[in-house]
Amino acid sequence: MTQRITVLGATGSIGVSTLQVLALHPERYTVYALTAHSRVEVLAAQCEQFRPQRAVVGTADAALVLQRLLRQKGLMIQVDYGTAALCEVASAAECDTVMAAIVGAAGLAPTLAAAHAGKKVLLANKEALVMSGQLFMDAVSKNGAMLLPIDSEHNAIFQCLPSTITQQTQQVRNQGVAKIVLTASGGPFLKRAVETLEFVTPEEAVAHPNWSMGRKISVDSATMMNKGLEVIEAHYLFDVAVGQIDVLIHPQSVIHSMVSYVDGSVIAQLGQPDMRTPIAHALAFPDRIQSGVAPLDLAQIAQLNFELPDFERFPCLKLAYQALQAGGTAPAILNAANEVAVEAFLNREIGFRVIDQLIARVMDKLPATSMSNLDSLLMQDKAARDLARTCLSS
Ligand code: NAD
Ligand code: MG
């Protein structure tokens, strides 16, 4: 039996890497649905190659364009648009596995829908989990969904944990785990003089030294908010306390993360900095399949370096730890303010250093609440975005 896959965010960096892995294994996987926000030409070409039953785009106009392109190619594919349609293809009975690779809060509703429908959820969209935290984890466990991390660090940790844990619940308490060590490249500004950071351009910020990724996560890597979001992600995925999660700068991005045990053992996962490895791991779990990634040549790399992160250089990392410590909706507020700030930076409305200042201001002014349900969460998300935009305009 083939696994039937929905790829949410098929036209993005993770989406394209996912389709590259799927294309290597047509006997194992078929594509049920592909979604994209606005890049309809790319989506039409993907539909031609993978022949999904359904395609979803962001707007009615985009849907009309896609329908025309598909007709020209002689393809009969149901085309829909909007959030409700995303949730439908993420929870449909005809699909087994959902790759959640939409960027930002826009991915929350469909990813949550996949969890509610008990799917195998491959989670790249870390913002969805950062926002909804325990609500999301509860939806996974109550509905018998299976959650497999795609983020390279979390996929590494998953591989370094005892398999008895990872196949059933993901609780690591009382299993001899002392610490989870998330590695971080440090991004493009690791060595740049701190006083010059206010002048960096979006082009410099998205030029990551090791990974090729979408623009938003690339800026998050430059501020290290990405690592901050990953600390929060690790807390929920693996049920570890904030004090058990360390960040270690490792500029070569060869060790993707480590688990340190009470007996002194440290287990690490290594590989090329290429997302096709964690994608192939999660798609095939518990089997292993080819990913198309070249083998790791350690003799050629020769050296692996490590250093502690500098919170003065990377205040966003500290803000994320603070949000996790505060709990409730604080991570959602952090995430919302960050999304607004990064978009404004990419649009050249604010400087690079205003990103962390804006997030700190919003967190300071908007008190976090407890997270009782999705509605209260979405209200806080909106309040944080509104406040961030008001701060920006004044
Ligand atoms: P990207 O910008 O390259 O792609 C984003 C995808 O989401 C596109 O297909 C786009 O059409 C879709 N999208 C954007 N806005 C949308 C909206 N409002 N509604 C519906 N769809 C929308 O991003 P990416 O780099 O592929 O990252 C995707 C997710 O994976 C992010 O959450 C990111 O943090 C995470 N992630 C990415 C990498 C990486 O190497 N790129 C690594 C780890 C985690
Ligand atoms: Mg990562």
pLDDT 10s per residue in the chain (394 long)?
899 999 999 999 999 999 999 999 999 999 999 999 999 999 999 999 999 999 999 999 999 999 999 999 999 999 999 999 999 999 999 999 999 999 999 999 999 999 999 999 999 999 999 999 999 999 999 999 999 999 999 999 999 998 755 554 555 656 899 999 999 999 999 999 999 999 999 999 999 888 889 999 999 999 999 999 999 999 999 999 999 999 999 999 999 999 999 999 999 999 999 999 999 999 999 999 999 999 999 999 999 999 999 999 999 999 999 999 999 999 999 999 999 999 999 999 999 999 999 999 999 999 999 988 999 899 999 999 999 999 999 8
Q: What residues have their beta carbon closer than 5 A to ion ligand 2?
A: 151-153
Distance CA 146, CA 382 (A): 29
Q: Which residue's CA lies nearest to atom 4 of ligand 1?
A: 12
Q: How big is the chain by its Cα radius of gyration, in Å?
A: 20
pLDDT of residue 394: 85
Q: Which two tokens mark 277? A: 């490895």
Would you state the pLDDT for residue 166?
A: 52
CA-closest candidate to residue 34, choices 15, 20, 59 = 15
Q: Is-cis flag, bond preceding 286, omega within 30?
A: yes
pLDDT value of residue 162 = 85
CB contact at 8 A, 377 and 329: yes
According to the model, what pLDDT value does residue 354 have?
Answer: 97
| Residue type present at position 242 | V
What 3-state class would DSSP assign to 63?
helix
One DSSP character per residue, 116-143 reads: HTT-EEEE--HHHHHHHHHHHHHHHHHT
Cα 216 from Cα 118, distance rounded (Å):
29
- Please answer whether residues 266 and 259 qualify as being in contact, where contact means their C-beta atoms are separated by less than 8 angstroms: yes
Q: What pLDDT is attached to residue 175?
A: 83
Q: Is 151 in the pocket of ligand 1 (CB under 6 A)?
A: yes
pLDDT of residue 100: 98
pLDDT of amino acid 165: 56
CB of 227 sitting under 6 A from ligand 1: no
Side-chain-side CA neighbours of 108 within 13 Å: the count stands at 20
State the distance from the centre of ligand 2 to the C-alpha of 232, rounded, in angstroms: 12
Q: Which ligand is nearest to the CA of 275?
A: 1
Q: Is 36 in the pocket of ligand 1 (CB under 6 A)?
A: yes
Say if CB 115 and CB 142 are below 8 A apart: no
The reply to whether ligand 1 has any atom less than 6 angstroms from the CB of 315 is no
Our answer on whether the CB atom of 126 is closer than 6 Å to any ligand 1 atom is: yes
pLDDT at 169: 55
Helix, strand and coil content of the chain, in percent to the nearest 5, comes to 50, 15, 35
Alpha carbon distance 370, 196 (integer Å): 39
Of 8, 46, 45, 52, nearest to 29 by C-alpha is 52
DSSP 348: T
Segments of the chain assigned E as strands: 3-8, 29-35, 54-57, 78-81, 97-100, 120-123, 146-149, 177-184, 245-249, 255-261, 266-270
pTM of the model: 0.97
Other beta carbons within 10 Å of 314: 27
Q: How far is CA 38 from the centre of its chain?
A: 20
